[in-house]
Amino acid sequence: MSNDCGCSSTQNFDGSSPAYKRILIIIIAINFGMFVVELLGGLSSGSMALLADSLDFLGDSATYTISLIVIGMPIATRAKAGLFKGLSLFAIAAWVLASTVYRIFIEGVPEALTMGAIGFAALAANVISVILLLKYKDGDSNVRSVWLCSRNDAVGNVAVILAASGIAATDTAWPDLAVAGIMASLFIHSATKIVRQSWSELEAEKAQHLTTTSQN
């Protein structure tokens, strides 16, 4: 199956590496810590973008833990884990979109300084995660989903920072709401990729099983 960078040499990497497992543990800790920071920051500043990003951090903490648990298991199990993570991203996107629409009808401008400061902290955390995962960006759906989620987080943090700048310049909530919508679109895009790859792996495993059964 093709991928974004056109690489194929590590497409079947399943995460069965002590170094990769250690990296996952570090990234799980980073994500959960940033979930707490962004949740508190989003509530105190009134930022939908920060709250959306905090929920993404929480989702990543849970799904990375699942990724760690299923490493080394049969491909069908790993594909099902990837499928679950893809569907989880769809759920997050739906929540963000619904919350954004709801927020449009509520007055209140987020506090830009808090948004910007936390956005920079979250960006630093995610850049570290992306660098650690860079050599593992290709692989099966379970491994690939980890990379896509981390990449999304870094992009989302840049968007939060831009939203904070827009709020400071316009004194309106629209930049925050726009960024929340963009992040939801990014979640949907990545979720579609993960679900397609997971489904493809499940179908390939099913076909291989049927072939083996017929030969026996």
String of DSSP letters for 83-107: HHHHHHHHHHHHHHHHHHHHHHTS-
The predicted structure's pLDDT at residue 2: 34
Instruction: Please write the tens of the pLDDT for every residue from 110-165.
Output: 677 877 888 888 889 888 988 888 888 777 777 777 887 788 778 777 877 888 88
Average predicted confidence (pLDDT) for the chain: 78
Ordered by start, the domain boundaries in the chain are: 18-215
d(CA 150, CA 190): 11
Q: What is the per-residue pLDDT across 99-114, written as a single tens digit (0 to 9) for each?
A: 777 666 665 666 778 7
Round to whole Å and give the CA distance between 121 and 111: 16
Q: Rounded distance, CA 87 to CA 96, Å?
A: 14
More confident residue, 73 or 10: 73
Query: Residue 1 corresponds to which tokens in the numbers above?
Result: 């199956």
Question: What is the rounded distance in angstroms from the CA atom of residue 76 to the CA atom of residue 105?
Answer: 45
Which segment, 12-16, 67-71, 75-79, is predicted with the most confidence on average? 67-71
Confidence category of residue 26, pLDDT binned at 50, 70, 90: very high
Q: How confident is the model at residue 32 (pLDDT cuts 50, 70, 90)?
A: very high
pLDDT reported for residue 102 = 67
pLDDT > 50? residue 8: no
